[in-house]
């Protein structure tokens, strides 16, 4: 599995008169999970969309490894989960998840094992309309994982999931993408989630987005809810909160 | 079970009422009774069956070709976005030529046979299908198209995996509307000089003042068209499960802002149309005697005498069409607004109006002319009736789009029904009203020219009917060109008013 690092060099973006992302340079290391946190509307999503190749930066350049994002997309190396599940209503859960592999032109692997993993066992043949909001979101996350992407972009994918499921997914999904060596960028509003899931937290300022803090998350032990109660984790959380308040 | 029984009960009651009215009517030339129609059907079973089969087969081929063309056009416009504005302008221009004007032209180009009927059937359906299909193709969320791009997939893949399936419910609405329209097109093709079919029988019945035959033919045409409408509706519901509400908005595409850009675009399209006209005539090496080129029409119109004849006929036609157009829109929108004050009445009226919208109204034109005379009133009624049903249905659907929360706000202040209607529901209806006002422009011109051709013997309809029989092909082609220009200009004017009003009341609809 090739690992891909993400280079943003002097990247900026404006929509009309509004500067959304100020010139910004960061490197996200291969195989790491980086969380982006920051105030609402600060330009996190725009940055993520530029990494995905959905928007072109006005200045600067984004490279995934030594390729342009669009080139990685064409060889099926990218996947993304949106805030909204965006499932195709006419496909069953299984077919929606398989779509990820189909579009990436990759063998699907074990769709049913993944369905069980995200807790949708028994719902594989249901249509999205028959599922709850949280179940749809889990199907969307499974769709982004099925193609074993090199770069996985998660735009607040757990926002609409209920607290218990969120806790379970927080524990079970990261080992999956870590074991595949994916480079993950996660947008979240939850500081705890950022600390729990990532190797590094980037705190962004309000618009236009700049990096105000770059906090490594160097925690040993199993990454589950209990970890958050350790002094080390609480120290990291405090650091992130402090940076957010200053942002 | 109960609704079916009740529906049958209503039908029997209406038939009895009709029979009674026909019996007490002093004027037997005007109204046929159901029993007289039944008797006529029994007597002429073989003839009617052969004519119905002939017209239905022509309509079916028109339906197939027209819808196929619409789907190809829609797909091209989505895959090649740069082609959108030019293609939609060409599609609109062709749609604006009244069928009764293209009929004789196709007749001289195709000669005898079923070509013109099929072609007119196709022309009658392709535009509404194109509009509904395009709305469907665009009814995809941005996340879906983003998803395709995330995996490096292009427009073709998005079309196949997302847009095609998402557009199906919309396409079925278009196909359903186009079934009666194809039938109408085929019949108009038969009016303009076929040998067989319901249209030919209608002409003969009218010329012979045969009331029973005229009524029977109108009823048969209406029944076949409504049957096709119902079958496609049933298939659509089975296949995709639901029916979206569609306002026939103009195909969305960005309008260039600078006025010189718009002028340049208009000029480009005009040159393109003339070039297509000239080259298609040349490519098939069509005889200049009947296949006129743009230059011939220009030379013909440069003669003041020809111009006077054409324009005075056109003025007469427009003076009949305009009041009918306005009356049809006003009554349709007014009735829809009034009915919203009484929800139970509106619930009952809606299915009836939807069903009647499917009747190819032109086939009832001879009856309306029998009843209201060959003057202004008769023509006006035909035009108004043609426009009334689609307007009424669209406005009712528009009124139902009023957001429930806004209605609740009004109710929580104890506002009266009239106040709610005026301040919330009528504005919510405006997009639907203007969409139907725009689509009604070509419909009104079709109605007025057809009724002139068939029955009243006035205006540009008569002029075309005469030129077709006297082989004055210069006049015929000039009439068609002028009518196309007038219809497109009127359509454009209504569309401009629509944009101005919608910018205020429904900014999300203005693209």
Q: Are B127 and B92 in contact (CB under 8 A)?
A: yes
Q: Cα B327 vs. chain centroid, distance in angstroms?
A: 17
Structurally, what CATH architecture does the domain formed by B286-511 represent?
Orthogonal Bundle (1.10)
Please name the residue of chain A whose CA is at the shortest distance from the CA of residue B150: A73
Residue B419 near chain A (CB below 8 Å): no
User: Tokens standing for B281?
Assistant: 């005539």
According to the model, what pLDDT value does residue B76 have?
Answer: 94
pLDDT in tens, A139-164: 998 999 898 889 999 998 887 777 88
**Percent of chain B's residues with pLDDT above 70:** 91
- Residues A53 and A30: their CA atoms lie apart, in Å, by 18
Please give the structure tokens belonging to residue A131: 């599922």
**pLDDT digits over B35-76, tens only?**
888 888 888 888 899 999 999 999 999 999 999 999 999 999
| pLDDT at res. B248 | 57
Structure-token pair, residue B484: 């196309």
Q: Which of A51, A73, A87, A153 to mutate to test the interface with B (most CBs of B within 10 A)?
A: A73
Right CATH for A6-77+149-246 from 1.10.3720.10, 3.60.40.10, 3.40.980.10, 3.40.50.300: 3.40.50.300
**Closest Cα partner for B108 from B97, B124, B98, B119?**
B119
pLDDT of residue B511: 40
For chain A, percent of residues with pLDDT exceeding 70? 98
Say if A67 is an interface residue toward chain B (CB within 8 Å).
no
| Closest residue of chain B to A153, computed from CA coordinates | B150
Q: What whole-number distance in Å separates Cα of residue B364 and Cα of residue B138?
A: 37
Query: B153 contacts in A (CB within 8 Å)?
Result: 103
Distance CA A82, CA B474 (A): 63
- For the cut 50, the answer to whether the pLDDT of residue A131 exceeds it is yes
Q: How far apart are CA B404 and CA B402, in angstroms?
A: 6
Residues of chain A neighbouring B149 (CB-CB closer than 8 A)? 52-54, 73
Q: Are A222 and A184 in contact (CB under 8 A)?
A: no
* Structure-model confidence comparison of residues A192 and B342, the more confident one: A192
CB contact burial A101-118 (16+ within 10 A = b; e otherwise): bbbbebebeebeebbebb
Q: Looking at residue B358, what is its pLDDT?
A: 64
Tens of pLDDT, residue by residue over B100-151, are 888 888 887 787 788 889 999 999 899 889 988 988 888 888 888 898 998 8
User: Residue B246 — very low, low, confident or very high, per pLDDT cuts 50/70/90?
Assistant: low
pLDDT band at residue B11 using 50, 70 and 90 as cut-offs: confident
Cβ pairs bridging A and B (under 8 Å): 53
Whether B401 contacts chain A with CB within 8 A: no
**For residues B92 and A1, which has the higher predicted lDDT (pLDDT)?**
B92
How many Cβ atoms sit within 10 Å of the Cβ of residue A34?
22
Contacts with B152 from chain A: Cβ below 8 Å: 70-76, 78
Q: Rounded to the nearest 10 degrees, how much is the dihedral formed by the CA atoms of B183, B189, B194, B199?
A: 50
Which of B373-408 are b and which e, b meaning 16 or more Cβ less than 10 Å from the residue's Cβ?
Answer: eeeebbbbbbbbbbbbbbbbbbbbbbbbebeeeeee
**CB neighbourhood size of A11 (10 A):** 23
pLDDT in the model for residue B432: 84
Average pLDDT value for residue range B65-89: 90
CB-based contact, B152 to chain A, within 8 Å: yes
CA pair distance B163, B145, nearest whole angstrom = 9
Which chain A residue lies closest to B157 (C-alpha atoms)?
A: A103
- Whether A80 has its CB under 8 Å from any CB of chain B: the answer is yes
Averaged pLDDT for residues B425-433: 84
Whether residue A73 and residue B150 make contact (CB cut-off 8 A), yes or no, is: yes
pLDDT band at B2 (very low <50, low <70, confident <90, very high): low
Q: List the single best residue of A50, A99, A142, A148 to mutate versus B (max B Cβ within 10 A).
A: A99
Instruction: Closest CB to A103: pick one of B141, B151, B165.
Output: B151
Domains of chain A, residue spans: 6-77+149-246, 85-148
DSSP category for residue A42: S
Predicted confidence at residue A171, as pLDDT, reads 82
Q: How many CB atoms lie within 10 A of CB A195?
A: 26
| Interchain CB contact of A99 with B (< 8 Å) | yes
What is the tens place of the pLDDT at every residue in A213-244? 888 888 776 777 777 778 888 888 888 888 88
The whole-angstrom separation of Cα A49 and Cα A78 is 12
| Separation in Å, CA B143 to CA A207, B138, B147, B355, B491 | 23, 13, 6, 38, 35
* Rounded (10°) CA dihedral B236, B242, B248, B249: -130
Q: Residue A4: CB partners within 8 Å, gap ≥ 6?
A: A30, A64, A65, A72, A77, A150, A151, A183
In this prediction, residue B315 has a pLDDT band, given cuts at 50, 70 and 90, of: very high
Q: Which residue of A has its CA nearest to B158?
A: A103
Residue A62 β-bridge partners: A8
Q: CB distance A54–B146 less than 8 Å? A: yes
Whether residue B342 is predicted with pLDDT greater than 80 in this model: the reply is no
Quick one: CA dihedral B484, B488, B489, B491, positive or negative?
positive
B245 pLDDT tier (thresholds 50, 70, 90): low
Q: So what's the pLDDT on residue B50?
A: 92
Domain ranges of chain B: 29-246, 286-511
Whether chain A has a CB inside 8 Å of the CB on B141: the answer is yes
* Encoded tokens for B107: 């007749």
Q: Do B177 and B128 form a contact (C-beta atoms < 8 A)?
A: yes
Q: Give the confidence band of B3 by pLDDT, cuts at 50, 70, 90.
A: low
- pLDDT of residue A184 exceeding 90, the answer is yes
Q: pLDDT grade, residue B328 (50/70/90)?
A: very high
pLDDT band at B258 (very low <50, low <70, confident <90, very high): low
Are residues A86 and B143, on separate chains, in Cβ contact within 8 Å? yes
β-strands A78-81, A200-204 pairing: unpaired
Nearest to A59 by CA among A5, A16, A14, A27: A14
A54 touching B, CB under 8 A?
yes
What was the pLDDT predicted at B249? 54
**Alpha-carbon dihedral angle through residues B470, B471, B473, B476, given to the nearest 10 degrees:** 40
Q: Mutate which of A90, A108, A152 to disrupt the B interface (most B C-beta within 10 Å)?
A: A90
pLDDT tens figures, A24-60:
899 998 888 999 998 887 888 889 999 999 989 999 9
Give me the residue from B150, B153, B165 closest to A90, CB to CB. B165
Shortest CA distance from A143: residue in chain B: B147
Residue B254: Cβ within 10 Å count: 9
Phi, psi of B464 (to 5 degrees): -70, -40
For residue A80, list chain B residues with Cβ-Cβ distance below 8 A: 146-147, 150
Q: Would you call A60 an interface residue with chain B, using a CB distance cutoff of 8 Å? A: no
Q: Return the H-helix or E-strand segment holding B380.
A: helix B376-399
Positive or negative, the CA dihedral B332, B337, B341, B346 is positive
Please check whether the two domains, B29-246 and B286-511, share a CATH topology: yes
**Mean pLDDT confidence for B196-200:** 88
Residue of chain A whose Cα is closest to the Cα of B167: A90
Query: In whole numbers, what is the pLDDT of chain B averaged over residues?
Result: 83
Rounded CA-CA distance B375/B455 in Å is 10
**How distant, in Å, are the alpha carbons of B132, B221, B464 from that of B185?**
19, 12, 18
pLDDT reported for residue B330: 94
Distance CA A221, CA A148 (A): 25
How far from B58 is each of B122, B174, B224, CA to CA, in Å? 10, 19, 13
Q: Is B84 exposed, middle or buried (0-12, 13-18, 19+ CB in 10 A)?
A: middle
Indicate the DSSP class of residue B422: I
Measured at the CA of B83, the angle between CA B80 and CA B86, to 5 degrees, comes to 165
End-to-end CA gap in chain B: 46
Question: Is pLDDT larger for residue B372 or for residue A115?
Answer: A115
Q: Crossing angle, helix B45-79 and helix B115-137, to 10 degrees?
A: 40
* Interface residue A86 vs chain B (CB under 8 A): yes
Cα–Cα distances in angstroms (integers) from residue A40 to residues A43, A44, A195, B269, B287, in the given order:
8, 9, 19, 47, 71
> From 3.40.50.2020, 3.40.50.300, 1.10.3720.10, 1.20.190.20, which CATH number describes the B29-246 domain?
1.10.3720.10
Among A56-65, A112-121, B279-288, which stretch is predicted with the lowest mean pLDDT?
B279-288
Residue B160 to chain A, least CA–CA distance (Å): 12
Nearest CA-CA distance, residue B351 and chain A, Å: 29
């Amino acid at each position: 599995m090739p690992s891909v690092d993400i280079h943003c060099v002097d990247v900026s973006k404006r929509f009309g008169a509004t500067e959304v992302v100020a010139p910004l340079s960061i490197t996200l290391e291969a195989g790491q999970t980086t969380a982006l946190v920051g105030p609402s509307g600060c330009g996190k999503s725009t940055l993520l969309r530029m990494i995905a190749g959905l928007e072109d930066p006005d200045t600067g350049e984004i490279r995934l490894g030594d390729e342009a994002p669009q080139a990685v997309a064409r060889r099926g190396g990218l996947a993304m989960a949106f805030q909204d599940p965006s499932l195709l209503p006419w496909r069953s859960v299984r077919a929606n998840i398989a779509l990820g592999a189909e579009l990436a032109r990759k063998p699907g692997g074990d769709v049913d094992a993944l369905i069980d993993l995200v807790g949708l066992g028994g719902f594989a043949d249901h249509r999205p309309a028959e599922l709850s909001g949280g179940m749809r979101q889990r199907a969307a996350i499974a769709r982004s994982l099925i193609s074993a992407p090199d770069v996985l972009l998660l735009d607040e994918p757990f926002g609409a999931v209920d607290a218990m499921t969120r806790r379970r997914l927080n524990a079970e999904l990261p080992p999956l993408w870590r074991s595949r060596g994916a480079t993950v960028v996660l947008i979240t509003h939850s500081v705890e989630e950022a600390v729990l899931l990532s190797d590094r937290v980037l705190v962004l300022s309000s618009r236009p987005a700049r990096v105000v803090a770059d906090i490594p998350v160097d925690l040993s032990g199993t990454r589950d809810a209990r970890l958050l109660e350790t002094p080390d984790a609480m120290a990291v959380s405090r650091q992130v909160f402090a940076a957010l308040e200053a942002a | 079970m109960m609704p079916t029984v009740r529906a049958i009960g209503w039908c029997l009651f209406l038939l009895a009422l009709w029979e009674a009215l026909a019996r007490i009517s002093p004027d037997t030339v005007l109204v046929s009774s159901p029993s007289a129609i039944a008797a006529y059907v029994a007597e002429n079973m073989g003839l009617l069956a052969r004519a119905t089969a002939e017209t239905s087969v022509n309509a079916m081929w028109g339906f197939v070709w027209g819808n196929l063309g619409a789907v190809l056009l829609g797909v091209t416009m989505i895959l090649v976005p740069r082609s959108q504005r030019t293609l939609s302008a060409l599609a609109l221009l062709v749609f604006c030529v009244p069928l009764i004007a293209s009929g004789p032209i196709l007749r001289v180009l195709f000669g005898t046979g079923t070509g013109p009927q099929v072609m007119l059937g196709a022309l009658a359906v392709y535009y509404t299908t194109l509009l509904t299909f395009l709305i469907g193709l665009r009814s995809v969320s941005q996340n879906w198209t983003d998803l395709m791009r995330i995996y490096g997939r292009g427009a073709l893949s998005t079309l196949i995996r997302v847009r095609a399936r998402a557009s199906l419910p919309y396409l079925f609405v278009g196909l359903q509307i186009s079934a009666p329209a194809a039938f109408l097109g085929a019949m108009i093709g038969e009016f303009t000089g076929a040998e067989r079919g319901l249209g030919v029988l209608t002409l003969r019945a009218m010329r012979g003042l045969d009331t029973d035959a005229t009524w029977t033919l109108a009823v048969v045409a209406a029944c076949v068209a409504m049957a096709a409408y119902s079958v496609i509706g049933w298939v659509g519901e089975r296949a995709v499960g639901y029916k979206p509400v569609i306002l026939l908005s103009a195909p969305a595409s960005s309008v260039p802002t600078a006025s010189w850009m718009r002028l340049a675009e208009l000029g480009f399209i005009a040159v393109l149309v003339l070039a297509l006209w000239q080259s298609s005539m040349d490519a098939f090496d069509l005889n200049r005697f009947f296949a006129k080129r743009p230059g011939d029409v220009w030379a013909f119109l440069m003669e003041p005498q020809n111009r006077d004849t054409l324009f005075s006929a056109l003025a007469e036609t427009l003076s009949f069409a305009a009041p009918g157009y306005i009356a049809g829109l006003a009554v349709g929108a007014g009735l829809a607004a009034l009915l919203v004050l009484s929800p139970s009445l509106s619930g009952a009226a809606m299915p009836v109006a939807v069903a009647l919208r499917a009747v190819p109204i032109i086939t009832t034109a001879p009856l309306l002319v029998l009843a209201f005379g060959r003057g202004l009133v008769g023509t006006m009624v035909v035009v108004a009736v043609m426009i009334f049903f689609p307007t009424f249905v669209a406005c009712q659907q528009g009124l139902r789009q009023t957001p429930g929360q806004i209605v609740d706000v009004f109710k929580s202040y104890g506002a009266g029904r009239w106040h709610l209607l005026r301040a919330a529901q009528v504005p919510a209806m405006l997009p639907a009203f203007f969409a139907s006002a725009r689509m009604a422009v070509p419909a009104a011109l079709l109605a007025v020219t057809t009724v002139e051709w068939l029955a009243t013997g006035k205006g540009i309809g008569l002029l075309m009917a005469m030129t077709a029989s006297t082989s004055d092909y210069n006049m015929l082609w000039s009439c068609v060109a002028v009518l196309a220009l007038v219809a497109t200009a009127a359509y454009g004017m209504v569309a401009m008013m629509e944009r101005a009003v919608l910018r205020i009341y429904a900014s999300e609809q203005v693209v």
